[in-house]
Amino acid sequence: MRHVYLATFFVVALVLSVFGLRGTVFTSPPMDVFPEWLFPSMKYQPKFRPQAETTFFADGRADRLPPPHTVRADLALREDDHRYLGKSAAGGFSAGLPEGLSVDRKLIEIGRDRYQIYCAPCHGALGDGNGITKRYGMGATATYHDARLRTMADGEIFNTITNGKNTMLAYADKLVPDERWAVVLYIRALQRAQQATAADVTDAAARKTLGLP
């Protein structure tokens, strides 16, 4: 009987040394405890998940581009050129927010949120072009606080976000049109903040702290 226990002990030691402990870092594909060929289940279904791989299409992607002229249901027909292209009826870049959007705290907060995610890495939190990427060699990033950008039409800023400009690539895939307008609004707020004067301080206590009458 002693030999049986000894043999069992060696089997356990062998299993432990082959399979190791939980949480060990490994690079080979994970083991399937109930492999599909032995226990057919619904773990792997004949369907494509987003960004999945396939051998069916030549480029190896399961995702297909929508056919030309497809319109996303929630973005309507994009007939409003002001809202979706930043263009006015006359053909130039439009001024002001498009119809359906109004300047309010909610929109500007969406703008701030999106600006800080997508724009601040290069343009900086203040919009002065001193984002973190400069430290890694991004070269000159435009500041919003010069005359050219202060007077730029809102539609042109919208267009730059949509299509990119110079080394800045398009952000249309990251921001839906209304979010782009929210970012335009926040950029205007940043510009306004850099142009503030003592007259802009309306809070009585703050005026006193600053020594203003």
Partner 1 sequence: MSKLFPKSANSLPFQILIYLGLVVGIATAGVTYYMTPKYTRVGYAPVQPVPFSHAKHVQEVGLDCRYCHSNVDKSAHSNVPTAQTCMNCHSVIKANSPLLAPIRESYEKGTAVPWVWIHHTPDHAYFNHAVHVNRGVSCVECHGKVNEMDVVTHSQPLSMGFCIECHRNPELRLRDPKDVYNLDSKRLADQGAAGLKTAENFVHDWKVKPPQSCSGCHR
Residues in contact with partner 1 by CB under 8 A are 1, 4-5, 8, 12, 15, 19, 22-33, 41-45, 47, 49-53, 59-61, 116-118, 121-122, 132-133, 136-139, 167-170, 173-174
Cβ of residue 34: shortest distance to partner 1, in angstroms?
9
Nearer to partner 1, 83 or 112 (CB): 112
Q: What angle do CA 198, 203, 205 make, to 5 degrees?
A: 100
Nearer to partner 1, 26 or 202 (CB): 26
DSSP single-letter state for residue 119: I
Q: Reduce the DSSP state of residue 61 to 3 states and report it.
A: strand
Cβ of residue 23: shortest distance to partner 1, in angstroms?
5
Nearer to partner 1, 58 or 199 (CB): 58
Angle between helices 105-114 and 177-194 in degrees, nearest 10: 90
Q: Reduce the DSSP state of residue 143 to 3 states and report it.
A: coil
Nearer to partner 1, 94 or 157 (CB): 157
Cβ of residue 90: shortest distance to partner 1, in angstroms?
32
H or E element: which one contains 190? Answer: helix 177-194
Cβ of residue 175: shortest distance to partner 1, in angstroms?
8
Q: Are 170 and 176 in contact (CB under 8 A)?
A: no
One-letter amino acid for residue 49 of the chain: R
Nearer to partner 1, 72 or 91 (CB): 72
Cβ neighbours of residue 21 closer than 8 Å, sequence gap 6 or more: none
Cβ of residue 146: shortest distance to partner 1, in angstroms?
21
